[in-house]
């Protein structure tokens, strides 16, 4: 479904044209005495009586942060948290001004104003329910999803190449000259890109800079891809920037220049958001590869980074590590304004990949440095906010990238003039490393809905525990890292207080939000008496190779003494032809979905567990006809009870619906108070996102 919102009279048209000089008269609040820069305005949607209205407003004073060492002229800037309602913002602002003797005036519309970077904002006021607005935007985004499989050559040869089209889109939106002002950190790699970028964002935010972070994919809501000062962009701002890009690109669509596919559009939107939000630094994660990635329109990053490389997306990047490394090195750049070199950093790689990175760096005269993993002793007793030993590699790279960024933007000496840069880790760096967040990677979630009692005693004795360990690993290297993390996490849970994140307010847990976790206050006696069952909840895309992923997962866990009682294979809720939001409807019934892929995963699993070779299972096993849900006893039994002799290999199950699977697990632990079910969810970020969405509901 293609949506052209310019034809909808209920939508206001928002046009941002830097070269326009016209300024319409508007009533504005004079609040320079409060510390905001003169002329700083941003467009914003206000929700009044559940309908959308737009105003040009000054920045809110919530969470004021002083950017003393900005790459721009020093000024104070405040940002609106995603969880603060616009009604609260208006009321808080009104009280604030009244307390200081100012008369609060509502601003008129339509208006046109100019921001500091000479961006004019035009606004026409109409009304549309806010929820409908956002879902309409999701429908529009969904229309940009191509049905072509990765690696499959297109039957139509486009007139312009991918990066040429990206440049044209940026020109239409008047963003070309502004991208260099973003002071970009550009990061590519096979695994650890998101973690490294999250560490970078948190570190530089703690140093006092206004940060923009663009990552992919999103797990629950597309707004997760765009963070401003550590928070997902608010829904109203997303809509404003989204429709501005959408409408202006739609105006210029031709046969040779169609609307951009989904990821290209989101990349352009990220640049739009970061330019208009006037971030001091933009941390940009490469989507796929490097050389031909949509983000590689960045011509002048401040610094580049390459995270650990491995075999992934081979249908596009090539089937050797050297070919993949060549694509990743495509983000290396030759020049940076008056400076002849743009530095790059990487971590220790396999020789085949490292040789290619060095070769590419030498060709471009790029200074490439290899970074050691972060020394735990430098954390001064703090812990990395992202779990897993592999995060020390990502953290070490992030520290080097941030230090280089600060030095090249001439901010290092200003901020850390009294610190010994070699001996000590700056305190701001420590805070960033200890508070960075990234959902769906080595994340632990305690499902409190299976235990909703107000009494601690009742909670301990009336229900078992249901704990989800979520990691979107989907490559051979990342699945091995995931297995090591899971084994370590379940071993630690036997001895240490649990640090578990929850989406529910439960009286038996103390809400200590540190690094996205809540610390449980449960007693240890009852916990130690519970029977632990480790369950694998798995799915992967058909382009992956489960014959590599599953054996490596099992063997790595087994080497640490961790064994799965059962495995459940389930299709993801997410479809690859629709963009949904956190509020999108969750399918309740069981559709007639093709489960042949899940049954093939189950056969492979049974072969691995029982050491069966050949096609024995394909011929005589009873795996292709399963009940909707297995009995609860299935979960209670040990793997030793499923014998290949009887032809019914009950070490695994295929369940046709993810919501039913979560409900079934919850019912099992409610029924058996002596049970602790530890569920590893992996194989697909789509699956991880779907589970998080269900737990959040």
From 449-458, 609-618, 641-650, the region with the lowest mean pLDDT? 449-458
pLDDT value, residue 158? 79
Residue 653: its H or E element: strand 652-654
pLDDT value, residue 52? 38
pLDDT value, residue 98? 43
pLDDT value, residue 88? 42
Query: Does position 613 have pLDDT exceeding 80, yes or no?
Result: no
Of 59, 17, 60, 64, the closest CA to residue 42 belongs to: 59
pLDDT value, residue 116? 53
The residue ranking higher by pLDDT, 239 or 129, is: 239
Q: How far apart are the first and last CA of the chain?
A: 28
Mean pLDDT of 223-228: 97
Residues 6+ apart with CB under 8 A from 602: 567, 569, 623, 652, 653, 654
Could you tell me the pLDDT band of residue 611, with boundaries at 50, 70 and 90? Answer: confident
**Residues 391, 515: contact at Cβ < 8 Å?**
no
Mean pLDDT of 504-528: 39
What whole-number distance in Å separates Cα of residue 450 and Cα of residue 517?
18
* Tokens representing residue 237 in the block: 């701002």
3-state secondary structure of 467: strand
Query: Does position 467 have pLDDT exceeding 70, yes or no?
Result: yes
Phi, psi of 650 (to 5 degrees): -95, 35
Mean pLDDT of 317-327: 95
The dihedral of CA 71, 73, 78, 80: what is its sign?
Answer: negative
Query: Does position 84 have pLDDT exceeding 60, yes or no?
Result: no
Query: Does position 457 have pLDDT exceeding 80, yes or no?
Result: no
Residue pLDDT, tens place only, 146-160: 866 555 666 567 788
From 102-116, 247-261, 365-379, the region with the lowest mean pLDDT? 102-116
What whole-number distance in Å separates Cα of residue 95 and Cα of residue 115?
26
Percent of the chain with pLDDT over 90: 55
From 5-19, 377-391, 477-491, the region with the lowest mean pLDDT? 5-19
Mean pLDDT of 574-597: 75
Count CA atoms within 13 Å of residue 675 on its CB side.
28
Percent of the chain with pLDDT over 70: 66
What whole-number distance in Å separates Cα of residue 408 and Cα of residue 543?
41
Mean pLDDT of 199-215: 98
The residue ranking higher by pLDDT, 248 or 2, is: 248
Number of H helices, E strands in the chain: 22, 24
Residue pLDDT, tens place only, 244-293: 999 999 999 999 999 999 999 999 999 999 999 999 999 999 999 999 99
**DSSP conformation letters of 11-36:** SPP-EE-TT------------GGGTP
* Tokens representing residue 190 in the block: 């096979």
pLDDT value, residue 449? 75
What whole-number distance in Å separates Cα of residue 392 and Cα of residue 375?
7
Query: Does position 436 have pLDDT exceeding 90, yes or no?
Result: yes
What whole-number distance in Å separates Cα of residue 584 and Cα of residue 574?
11
3-state secondary structure of 247: helix
**Strand order across the 517-520 sheet:** 499-500, 517-520, 509-514
| Chain-centre distance for alpha carbon 684 | 13
Give ∠ CA 60-65-70 in degrees, rounded to 5: 115
3-state secondary structure of 56: strand
Give ∠ CA 453-459-465 in degrees, rounded to 5: 115
What whole-number distance in Å separates Cα of residue 249 and Cα of residue 265?
10
Of 208, 113, 690, the closest CA to residue 412 belongs to: 208
From 43-52, 222-231, 653-662, the region with the lowest mean pLDDT? 43-52
The residue ranking higher by pLDDT, 421 or 389, is: 389
The chain-wide mean pLDDT, for the chain, equals 77
What whole-number distance in Å separates Cα of residue 529 and Cα of residue 627?
32
Residue 548, Cβ neighbours under 10 Å: how many?
13
**Residues 311, 475: contact at Cβ < 8 Å?**
yes
* Residues facing 345 on adjacent strands: 305, 369
What whole-number distance in Å separates Cα of residue 172 and Cα of residue 15?
12
Query: Does position 212 have pLDDT exceeding 50, yes or no?
Result: yes
* Tokens representing residue 217 in the block: 């994919």
**Residues 484, 388: contact at Cβ < 8 Å?**
yes
Mean pLDDT of 628-647: 72
Q: Which residues of 571-582 are buried (b: 16+ CB within 10 A; e: fewer)?
A: bbbbeeeebbbb
pLDDT value, residue 92? 41
Cβ-count burial of 594 within 10 angstroms (0-12 exposed, 13-18 middle, 19+ buried)?
Answer: exposed
What whole-number distance in Å separates Cα of residue 345 and Cα of residue 357?
10
Residue pLDDT, tens place only, 469-489: 999 999 999 999 999 999 999
**Strand order across the 566-569 sheet:** 443-446, 465-470, 675-682, 531-538, 566-569, 652-654
What are the angstrom distances between the C-alpha of 137 and each of 26, 82, 240, 303, 310?
Answer: 29, 18, 10, 34, 35
pLDDT value, residue 614? 61
Residues 6+ apart with CB under 8 A from 611: none
From 24-28, 113-117, 604-608, 630-634, the region with the lowest mean pLDDT? 24-28
* Tokens representing residue 330 in the block: 């495509």
* Tokens representing residue 449 in the block: 């809905």
The residue ranking higher by pLDDT, 510 or 306, is: 306
The residue ranking higher by pLDDT, 87 or 188, is: 188
* Residues facing 45 on adjacent strands: 54
Residue pLDDT, tens place only, 532-558: 999 999 999 988 899 999 999 999 999
pLDDT value, residue 46? 37
From 494-498, 510-514, 561-565, the region with the lowest mean pLDDT? 510-514
* Beta strand ranges found along 529-623 (DSSP E): 531-538, 566-569
The residue ranking higher by pLDDT, 28 or 424, is: 424
Query: Does position 298 have pLDDT exceeding 50, yes or no?
Result: yes
pLDDT value, residue 351? 97
Count CA atoms within 13 Å of residue 617 on its CB side.
23
């Amino acid at each position: 479904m293609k949506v052209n919102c310019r034809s909808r009279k209920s939508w206001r048209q928002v046009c941002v044209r830097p070269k326009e000089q016209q300024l319409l008269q508007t009533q504005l609040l004079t609040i320079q005495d409060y510390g905001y820069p003169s002329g700083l305005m941003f467009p914003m949607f206000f929700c009044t009586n559940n309908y959308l209205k737009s105003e040009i407003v000054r920045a809110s004073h919530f969470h004021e942060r002083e950017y003393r060492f900005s790459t721009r002229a020093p000024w104070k800037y405040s940002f609106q948290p995603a969880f603060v309602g616009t009604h609260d913002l208006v009321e808080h602002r009104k009280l604030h001004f009244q307390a200081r003797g100012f008369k609060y005036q509502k601003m008129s519309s339509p208006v046109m104003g100019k921001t500091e970077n000479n961006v004019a904002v035009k606004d026409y006021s109409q009304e549309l329910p806010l929820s409908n607005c956002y879902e309409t935007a999701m429908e529009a985004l969904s229309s940009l999803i191509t049905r072509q499989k990765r690696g499959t050559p297109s039957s139509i040869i486009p007139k312009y190449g991918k990066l040429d089209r990206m440049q044209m889109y940026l020109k239409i939106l008047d963003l070309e000259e502004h991208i260099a002002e973003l002071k970009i950190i550009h990061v590519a790699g096979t695994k650890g890109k998101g973690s490294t970028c999250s560490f970078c964002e948190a570190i530089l935010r703690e140093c006092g800079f206004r940060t923009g972070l663009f990552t992919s994919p999103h797990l629950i809501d597309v707004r997760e891809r765009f963070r401003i000062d550590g928070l997902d962009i608010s829904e109203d701002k997303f809509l404003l920037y989204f429709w501005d890009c959408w409408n202006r690109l739609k105006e210029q669509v031709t046969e040779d220049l169609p609307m951009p596919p989904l990821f290209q559009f989101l990349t352009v939107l990220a640049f739009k958001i970061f330019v208009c939000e006037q971030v001091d630094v933009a941390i940009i994660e490469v989507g796929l590869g490097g050389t031909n990635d949509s983000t590689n329109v960045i011509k002048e990053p401040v610094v580049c980074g390459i995270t650990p490389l491995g075999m992934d997306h081979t249908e596009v990047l090539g089937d050797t590590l050297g070919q993949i490394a060549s694509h990743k090195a495509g983000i290396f750049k030759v020049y940076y304004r008056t400076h002849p070199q743009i530095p790059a950093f990487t971590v220790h790689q396999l020789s085949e990949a490292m040789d290619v990175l060095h070769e590419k760096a030498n060709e471009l005269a790029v200074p490439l440095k290899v970074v050691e993993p972060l020394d735990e002793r430098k954390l001064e007793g703090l812990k990395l906010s992202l779990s897993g030993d592999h995060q020390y590699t990502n953290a070490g790279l992030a520290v080097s990238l941030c230090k280089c960024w600060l030095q090249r933007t001439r901010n290092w000496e200003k901020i850390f003039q009294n610190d010994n840069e070699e001996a000590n880790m700056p305190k701001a760096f420590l805070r960033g490393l200890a508070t960075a967040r990234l959902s769906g990677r080595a994340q632990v979630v305690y499902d409190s809905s299976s235990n909703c009692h107000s009494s601690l005693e009742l909670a301990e004795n009336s229900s078992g525990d249901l704990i989800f360990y979520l990691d979107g690993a989907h490559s051979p290297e990342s699945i091995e890292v995931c297995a090591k993390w899971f084994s370590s996490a379940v071993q630690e849970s036997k001895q240490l207080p649990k640090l578990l994140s929850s989406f529910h307010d439960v009286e038996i847990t103390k809400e200590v939000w540190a690094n996205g976790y809540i610390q449980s206050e449960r007693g240890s006696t009852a916990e130690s008496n519970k029977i632990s069952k480790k369950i694998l909840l798995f799915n992967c895309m058909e382009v992956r190779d489960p014959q590599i992923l599953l054996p490596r997962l099992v063997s790595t866990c087994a080497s640490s003494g961790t064994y799965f009682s059962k495995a459940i294979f389930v299709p993801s809720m997410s479809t690859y032809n629709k963009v949904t939001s956190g509020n999108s409807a969750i399918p309740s019934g069981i559709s007639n979905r093709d489960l042949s892929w899940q049954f093939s995963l189950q056969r492979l699993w049974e072969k691995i567990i029982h050491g069966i070779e050949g096609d024995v299972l394909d011929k005589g096993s009873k795996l292709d006809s399963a009940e909707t849900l297995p009995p609860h006893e299935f979960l209670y039994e040990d793997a030793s009870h499923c014998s290949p002799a009887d032809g019914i290999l009950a070490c695994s199950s295929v369940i046709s619906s993810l919501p039913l699977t979560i409900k079934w697990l919850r019912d099992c632990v409610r029924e058996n108070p002596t049970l602790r079910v530890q569920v590893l969810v992996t194989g697909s970020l789509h699956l991880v996102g779907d589970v998080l969405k269900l737990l959040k509901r």
